Amino acid sequence: MIDIVQPFWKPKDWTSFDVVKKIRSATGIRKVGHAGTLDPFAEGILLICLGAATKRSSQLMALEKEYIATVKLGSTTDTLDPTGDISASAPVPDLTQDEITPVLTRFTGTVRQIPPMFSALKVDGTRLYKLARAGKSIPRKPRLVQIHTIRLLDWRPPDELEIQVTCGKGTYIRSLAADVAQDLQTVGYVIRLTRTRVGAYGPEDALRLEQLASWTPFIA
C-alpha cells in the first residue's frame, strides 16, 4: 500500500493540479492529490499525497505555512496578482521602514480577511474564480485567519516591499497584501510569491521537476 507525503517545488505558471497530473503520468500511480492549492503565478512547497496519504489531506492543510511575498504599491489588479488587469491606482506616500513595520505588526494574530474573487473557495458549490472569470462579483463574508508572524524583509522605495509571513490555514497572502497597502494609505498587489515552508517541510525536502524522471516512490 502506497502511503507517501512528498513535498514538491511547484514551478511558476503551473497550477497545483498540473503537478498532480505530471506525477500521475511519471509514476503510474493514479491516487495522487495535493494538500493546499498554490496559485499558478506562485512557486514553492506543494504537499503531494500518494495513495492512502490522500486521506490525510485535511490534516496536512492545517499545517503552518511560510511565504515570502513581494508587494507592489501604487496600483492593484482584479486578481490581486500579476495575472490580472490593473483595476485601481493611488499615490504612494513617502514611506520609511520605521513607518511600515508598525503597520505590518497590526496584522499579526487573529485577522478578519475577505477572500479574493479569484480564488478556489467555493460559494454555494461554485468556485469563486469561475464566477470572476464570468465577470461576476459577489459579496464574500470576512473569515478569521491566523497570522503568526509578518516581517519586513526589504523596502525598495518608492513602491516595493518584501515580506515574510507565517500563517494558518485559509490565509490569502494576496488579500493580506491588499489590506496592508490600504493601511499604508495606498493600494497594492502581490507581484511575486514563494511558499517556503509547510509544517516541517522546507525547500531542502522538496522534489524538483527535473528530478521527477528518476524519482521512484518507496512502496511498502
Residues labelled catalytic: 39
Alpha carbons 19 and 21: distance in angstroms, whole number: 5
Cell numbers that stand for 179 in this block: 489590506
Cell numbers that stand for 148 in this block: 503568526
Query: For cell 465577470, what's the residue?
Result: 135
- CB-based burial of residue 61 (10 Å sphere; 0-12 exposed, 13-18 middle, 19+ buried)? middle
Cell numbers that stand for 99 in this block: 513607518
